[in-house]
Amino acid sequence: MLDIKKVPFSRYGSFITISQNHHETGDDSLYIRNIRNGDNDFGAVFRIELIKDSGTVPYTAGLTPSVLRLNAEFGFAEFCITERKVLQIKSKGVGVRLIGITGVYDYAVKVEQNRWEVNHSSQEIRYLLTTITGNMTVEAPFKEQRCEKIVVDFLPDSSVSEMECAIEEFTTIYAHRSYLLFSEGQNRVQAEFDYWYANTLEMPERYRDGRLLASYITWSCVVPPEGMLTRPAMYMSKNWMTNIWSWDHCFNAIALAKKSPELAWDQFLIFFDLQDVSGVLPDFVNNRYALWNFTKPPIHGWTLRKLMEKTDHVTLEKLQEVYEPLVKWTNWWIQFQDTDCDGIPQYNHGNDSGWDNSTIFHKGTPVESPDLTSFLVIQMDVLADVAEKLNKDVEAARWRQRSQEMLTRMISHFWKGNRFIALKSGTHEPIHSNSLVVYMPLILGKRLPDEIVNQLVMDIKYKGFLTEHGLATELPSSPYYRNDGYWRGPIWAPTTMLLVDGLLSAGERELALDIAERFCEMATNAGMAENFDAMTGESLRDPAFTWTSSVFLMLGDLLKEAF
């Protein structure tokens, strides 16, 4: 059983979501939501209540992948998203009340004897409400340009005390004259999830509960192509982070590669579908809009290499599809993010790094950081591999040369005695920081000199970054460390994955597996949160995150293969 207080109820391919709004208001009511507006809008359209004899009754909620069940003293109500635009409800002994969360121009109108349309203009969506068995009453007094309120009661048939209804979302005209039986729809949805679950990465048995949760989160967070979304897209969450960001999608793609390679390729390519002519990728996208004020780090070469390792689905045709976009993305950093022209690209804002408030930015920006240069070294090397496969031998040789030149420049620029540091771009003033981000060059593995690898590994083992639960993003002894400090302390899935992979490539298998094990243990116990308290392992921020789920599954798969 899943926890509706943490995990929204939804399904693969649907924007319909039911969850609490406690993130903003502390409200423990359940809401039917439209999550098309990005994370600036909770998207509530109806608040759900159970009723008996016209009065509301308390309930407890239970959640499985196919059904949300609300149990009350006098009966129950069950909810199932039987099709991607259809939410069906059945109840016994109690009725279901939907209270519209209305705004300007929202109204309800009766269209047939057993059907009402609710035009939720503030959410840019319409709903067709249909009774299948039982009765519906609607209170929707219209004044001037809107209904002052919209209250819909679905009431059980008096003879059998049962009710069944459907709520169908649409934009212009609705599609259905009749609906599946609730039980038939539930069986279909459960079968779909069971297939997904069977095709998630395998893990040691002790992580079984975590695997079920991670599978449900990744499955239920996929939305269909619509608007700006050119492909099926795995949102980061259907709680609050209802977008995809331009590095988060990489981890989801890798986790899908073994068992769902076509969907994995869709996750990887979706941002390149939106790429600007300059080469930059947007920071995030949802079905309505893309944000261009920031971007995210170029881990896409590293990702492509992982995809090629994990599946033969990445054919020459697919490499041809991605080669030029990856070239443009690489060159954008070199051409447009190096204002002092020293050959070392920079971050102009913490958001561009993915480590939004890391302490390498506490002196301001722009900042030259060794993680960015390391990602580009790998990306150039991968471009060389791809160019060779595409018989572009001259380009391949040039990318190999550029990669080696960047690596040499990176070590000379950032390695100071016994550690990597970040620098202010232009002045090259050292930035003294105890952030884990300066250890990201470990992703280069054996391409780093042995003495550098050894020093970085010693620091991770003994300096204090490695807690009982995994890798803190800021050294816990740092004056800037905060338990819930976003990138100033908490454990994050993507940084864990990158460093585990780097340690493996550097030959530090024992440490890599140890970190993977700590993370999987923590996530199984605390859930698939956006991040975690490094000292207690408790979940922080959004408690149902896909890239955490994906990293958990990948690390579990690694442990399964290792032991």
Task: Give tens-digit pLDDT for 174-233.
Answer: 888 889 999 999 999 999 999 999 999 999 999 999 999 999 999 999 999 999 999 999
CB neighbours (10 Å) of residue 454? 13
Residue among 149, 211, 232, 219 at smallest CA distance from 8: 219
Strand partners, 50: 57, 96
Among 556, 555, 494, 549, which Cα is nearest to 526's? 549
Output phi, psi for 170, to 5 deg: -160, 165
Count of Cβ atoms closer than 10 Å to residue 525 Cβ: 14
Q: Is 178 left (phi over 0), alpha (psi -120 to 50) or beta?
A: beta
Name, in order, each residue with C-beta under 8 angstroms of 398's C-beta and a sequence gap of 6 or more: none
**pLDDT at residue 163, rounded to an integer:** 97
Q: Which residues make Cβ contacts (< 8 Å) with residue 294, sequence separation at least 6?
A: 283, 349, 351, 352
Give CA angle at 182 (177, 188), nearest 5°.
100
Rounded Cα–Cα distance for residues 179 and 325 (Å):
44
SS3 of 538, please? coil
**CA–CA separation, 545 and 251 (whole Å):** 12
Enumerate residue ranges in the chain where pLDDT < 70. Answer: 22-26
Among candidate residues 90, 122, 126, the one with its CA nearest the CA of residue 109: 126
Contact 350, 357 (CB under 8 A): yes
pLDDT for position 24: 61
Q: Which helix (H) or strand (E) holds 118?
A: strand 115-120
Rounded to 5 degrees, φ, ψ at 263 are -65, -35
- Is residue 238 within 8 Å of residue 244, measured between CB atoms? no
Cα radius of gyration rounded to whole Å, the chain: 25
Tell me, yes or no, if the pTM score tops 0.95: yes
Give the span between the Cα atoms of 233 and 221, in whole angstroms.
8
The structural domains of the chain, ordered by start, are 16-190 (2.70.98.10), 199-562 (1.50.10.10)
